[in-house]
Amino acid sequence: GAVVSQHPSRVICKSGTSVKIECRSLDFQATTMFWYRQFPKQSLMLMATSNEGSKATYEQGVEKDKFLINHASLTLSTLTVTSAHPEDSSFYICSATGTSGASRGEQYFGPGTRLTVT
Amino acid sequence: DAKTTQPPSMDCAEGRAANLPCNHSTISGNEYVYWYRQIHSQGPQYIIHGLKNNETNEMASLIITEDRKSSTLILPHATLRDTAVYYCIVRVANTGNQFYFGTGTSLTVIP
């Protein structure tokens, strides 16, 4: 089946620094990737939709200058949390949509990245 | 916005069937019902999806009412490893559209 990986799985950073999270589709090409954020005991909240080769579309209330998304290839999207603060501490999850075959149009989720800002 | 409503929590005895309900009264004719689950601190895991016919796979069965306004996910023999939050989502299939998650049902399987 289609596999999506995220790196790192956990990261701790100091307040004011930037953190980059990678999302990769390992065995399929993904024209579209999504980024979600999940706070403790809450549901997943969609942050943005990332299309390969174009600018990301952000959900209402998500600061595009703070959460930089790059989708430079059909297998990689990155989320950079700039000038991170403790309130950005959360579980970040990506998903990818396949372009062809059995994975076309279906969405596969990564294992998530736990970000802790101290 | 999420278009589904689910009970916030349920318990089920180990070895018994777990029946998780979901209401989606505003579902459109071309929208499928998807079920995912999320075990603590992991990414969501796909379970099953369907349009109007009942579906079954190795993990679960999906029963959709004739009017498609509600559905039930059935885990036939719940185990402790099935303890998770279960999300019911409606979406047009094969479009690459995003999922909007509701609050889900926290299922606890009790020994």
Nearest-CA distance A45 → chain B (Å): 7
Helix (H, G, I), strand (E, B) or coil at A44: coil
Distance, CA of B105 to CA of A35 (rounded, Å): 22
Determine the residue among B38, B88, B90 to mutate to test chain A binding: the one whose Cβ has the most chain A Cβ atoms within 10 Å: B38
Report the residue from A43, A105, A110 with minimal CB separation from B43: A110
Residue indicated by tokens 């689950």: B37
pLDDT of residue B61: 97
| Low-confidence residues of chain B: pLDDT under 70 | 1-2, 93-96
Residue B8 touches chain A, beta carbons under 8 Å: no
pLDDT of residue B80: 97
pLDDT of residue A66: 96
Nearest-CA distance A53 → chain B (Å): 16
Question: Do residue B99 and residue A46 have CB atoms under 8 angstroms apart?
Answer: yes
pLDDT of residue A94: 96
Report the residue from A34, A36, A105 with minimal CB separation from B95: A105
Residue B47's beta-bridge partner residues? Answer: none
Within a 10 A sphere around the Cβ of A53, how many other Cβ atoms?
9
pLDDT of residue A29: 86
The token pair at B100 is: 């909007």
Residue B44 touches chain A, beta carbons under 8 Å: yes
CB A106 within 8 A of CB A3: no
Nearest-CA distance A13 → chain B (Å): 19
Question: Do residue A106 and residue B94 have CB atoms under 8 angstroms apart?
Answer: yes
pLDDT of residue B1: 55
| Low-confidence residues of chain A: pLDDT under 50 | none
| Residue type (1 letter), B13 | A
